[in-house]
Structure 1
Amino acid sequence: MGNVISGQRDSLTDVSGILVGHHHVLDRDATLGTGAATGCTVVRVPGGATAAVDVRGGGPGTRETDLLDPGNTVRRVDAILLTGGSAYGLAAADGVMRKLEEDGAGIVMDPADPGRVVPIVPGAVIFDLPVGAWDIRPTAEFGYRAAAAAATGFARGSVGAGVGARAGSIKGGVGTASIVLSDGAAAGITVAALIVANPVGSVFDPRTGLPWGCGTDGPDFFGLRAPTDEQLAAANTLPVKGTVLNTTIGVVATDAALDPAGCRRVAVTAHDGLARAIRPAHSPLDGDTLFALATGTADIRASPPLPPAFPADLLVVDQICTAAAVCVERAVVDAIRSAHAVAGIPAYRDLFPG
């Protein structure tokens, strides 16, 4: 992919026009299974963005994903909801819609009254119900508050939809990464990802203790060093994930101007990043779902001469797809490195300090 340069924040919000907000609850009693440990994360796109989705896991929990088929009518979304609470957590989308309606964001239904809008808010869930209290899940109020909190700066790790996430034997969470492309027709385009890592699969190599996601760029990119034999032995004695419902969800985005079919291709290829960073990924027990957004704020038309069989736009989409997979891979690593222990689930940072 040539030189790989991270964006200014190494974050999804490096894509111009994208905001991220969290809302969660986390009680001390979560350790005992009687307190709250759940939340949601909202990706807002003021003015809307072209969108698509690709669902790979065998047990997804989603909302409005049929709407994003490239053959269907609605071509833009106003926000994406990523939430805990399994199917119950989809209720948080109602709160996101309420906040967007207050802000006048959505499809205008009456030209004479621009306040009559229908916000488009697809969403996906993770299964975190066994962490904390089973009967406390994200509600519409969670979604409203997360949408209201959306900004360019946001926390990572055990926050938002990642509060109750568990990645294999260790704590999962929210992670993010970005790349600014530097080659050819795609030079200057930003590609980014935000991931809620909650897989049944392992996120680190039991032989080395390093995240699987170090594979593309090597451990030096993340500044990691090999653990001691004692640390590695302790990590390998951790019990495997006991719950049978899991799921990794997320959003990949670019500031390139893509049509729904181009977005769909980005969403499809972005799953390669999950397969590199999680082993196994896309299992029958996961509901792995990735959304793709294109804001169209970057100009991709200027390009060097190319053979007629390879139009510039096609080559640009190819570069964006490659970068999307790398961003997803890095975002998974960021999620587990940023997470802290919750409800007795150990964090990567505690197992392998430094």
Structure 2
Amino acid sequence: MVSPLMRAGETNSLMDVAGLRVGHARRVGGGFRTGTTVVLAPAGGVVAGVDVRGAAPGTRETELLDPRNLVERVHAVVLSGGSAFGLSAACGVVGRLADAGVGFPVVGGAVPIVPAAVIFDLGRGGVFRAVPDDTLGAAAYDAAAVPPERTPAPDGAAPVPPERAPALDGEAAAAGGKQDGAIACHHGPARGSIGAGTGALAGGLAGGVGTASALLPDGATVAALAVVNAAGSVLDPHDATLAGARYGLPGEFDHLGPPAPDEAQAWSPEHAPSFNTTIGIVATDLTLTKAQCGKLAAVAHDGLARAIRPAHTMTDGDTIFGLAACARPAPGQDELQDVLAAAADVFSRAVADAVLTATGRADAPAYLDVFPSALRSRP
């Protein structure tokens, strides 16, 4: 049960955790439908752990997060489309950090530590090898590194407002948008069909990037960012409501209700993708060890499984990173239990948010396109 004393942070996003910055870059058109999301650590990095539950993960630098291994802090985390090809987006982030002198100190310089995970979205823009690369990773880094009002747009294009992602595809043509594969960037709490979630699917619906945060009664913050690209259903099997929405804070999903029975009965997606993956980050401002960050990520997987059914299958690469910004003291045992419980809930909420804010397209309708009666009032 959600504590009546708990509330969302100012942005209801990962940026409510002190020092974390988030940037997204995407390419749509010209064969592309994919993107990259970068989470930058504050000065000095963050303590990090990871938990991989899917049987087909695409990851980088996750072994470094084992508590038995050397490196204690990471400097960024990359989430990307492009399957194994998309791991190269992390190279653009490593380059940017190295140019700034940020990294693990070694003789002669510093080596940035940048773990990464990817989803399978190959071919969703029409060309199988139209995938994120180091250029897209660098663009997402640049979007994260500047204030929202200065979100950069590559190639001289007009900046994209950070608060929402514009429609794409046929909808974009109607709105005068372009589909030439140019890079578009978003900063911070933006969510929906952006960044690593640009080409995502969620049980036949449009997937995307979702966020959520919680301020605990003692003042600690726990937040999540989810990239939802699931073969499993994100719907409650009884009434087609968003399964993750049941963990919402007061007022968060109150504008939604069960859709009309005829809409629920009519929904039957024909072709579920054969390769999938939901990836994400859960973070807190408390001081945790690497082992505790790993546990934070592990419990967040409970939230993933509550919101997506089934999860962690043989063709999923479900991976969650746990981050500790260490801006507040280490928790006591009881406080740590509250943080872990909140981690599961914020991840469930982030999954629901991703599906609710995603933009529909020809092969993947938005949730409210399929279930318009679920919208009871404007949020």
Name the TM-score, length of structure 2 as normaliser. 0.83
> Of residues 6, 9, 27 in structure 2, which corresponds to 1:7?
9
**Does residue 275 of structure 2 align to residue 256 of structure 1?**
no
| 1:206-240 CA-partner distances (Å, limit 9, x unpaired) | 43120111333599640212212332233x23224
Aligned partners of 1:93 and 1:172: how far apart in 2?
A: 22
Equivalent residue of 1:193, what SS? strand
Q: Offset at 1:314?
A: 2.1
**Does residue 174 of structure 2 align to residue 181 of structure 1?**
no
- 1:21 corresponds to which letter in structure 2? G
**Does residue 321 of structure 2 align to residue 291 of structure 1?**
yes
Aligned partners of 2:198 and 2:140: how far apart in 1?
A: 14
Q: Identify the residue that residue 192 of structure 1 maps to in structure 2.
A: 223
Contact 1:266–1:317 under 8 Å retained in 2: no
- 1:107 corresponds to which letter in structure 2? F
Q: Identify the residue that residue 149 of structure 1 maps to in structure 2.
A: 143
Equivalent residue of 1:87, what SS? helix
* Cα separation, partners in 2 of 1:202 and 1:219, compared to 1, 3 Å: farther
Q: Offset at 1:193?
A: 0.3
Q: Identify the residue that residue 39 of structure 2 maps to in structure 1.
A: 43
Within a 5 Å distance, the mapping from 1:219-234 to structure 2 comes to 221-223=252-254, 224-234=256-266
Contact 2:14–2:189 under 8 Å retained in 1: no
Aligned partners of 2:319 and 2:370: how far apart in 1?
A: 29
* Cα separation, partners in 2 of 1:117 and 1:342, compared to 1, 3 Å: farther
Within a 5 Å distance, the mapping from 1:210-289 to structure 2 comes to 210-217=241-248, 221-223=252-254, 224-234=256-266, 236-241=267-272, 243-289=273-319
Aligned partners of 1:24 and 1:4: how far apart in 2?
A: 34
Q: Identify the residue that residue 156 of structure 2 maps to in structure 1.
A: none
**Does residue 201 of structure 2 align to residue 171 of structure 1?**
no
Over aligned residue pairs, what C-alpha RMSD do you find? 1.7
Aligned partners of 1:319 and 1:327: how far apart in 2?
A: 12
Aligned partners of 2:221 and 2:228: how far apart in 1?
A: 22
- 2:26 corresponds to which letter in structure 1? H
Equivalent residue of 2:75, what SS? strand
Aligned partners of 2:242 and 2:263: how far apart in 1?
A: 14
- 2:220 corresponds to which letter in structure 1? I
Within a 5 Å distance, the mapping from 1:25-174 to structure 2 comes to 25-27=27-29, 35-47=31-43, 48-110=45-107, 116-132=109-125, 133-150=127-144, 153-174=188-209
Contact 1:42–1:143 under 8 Å retained in 2: yes
- 1:329 corresponds to which letter in structure 2? S
Equivalent residue of 2:97, what SS? helix
Contact 1:77–1:119 under 8 Å retained in 2: yes
Provide the aligned length of Structure 1 versus Structure 2. Answer: 327
- 2:209 corresponds to which letter in structure 1? V
Gaps of 5+ in 2: 147-186
Q: Identify the residue that residue 175 of structure 2 maps to in structure 1.
A: none
Gaps of 5+ in 1: 30-34, 301-311
| 1:54-108 CA-partner distances (Å, limit 9, x unpaired) | 0000100000000000111101000001000000000101001011112221112
Contact 1:168–1:240 under 8 Å retained in 2: no
Equivalent residue of 2:48, what SS? strand
* Cα separation, partners in 2 of 1:39 and 1:282, compared to 1, 3 Å: same
Equivalent residue of 1:53, what SS? strand
> Of residues 233, 238, 242 in structure 2, which corresponds to 1:202?
233
Aligned partners of 1:229 and 1:97: how far apart in 2?
A: 50
Contact 1:250–1:290 under 8 Å retained in 2: yes
For structure 1, which segment, 265-274 or 147-156, has the greater mean C-alpha deviation from structure 2 after superposition? 147-156
Name the TM-score, length of structure 1 as normaliser. 0.89
Q: Percent identity?
A: 48
- 2:265 corresponds to which letter in structure 1? A
Q: Offset at 1:109?
A: 1.8
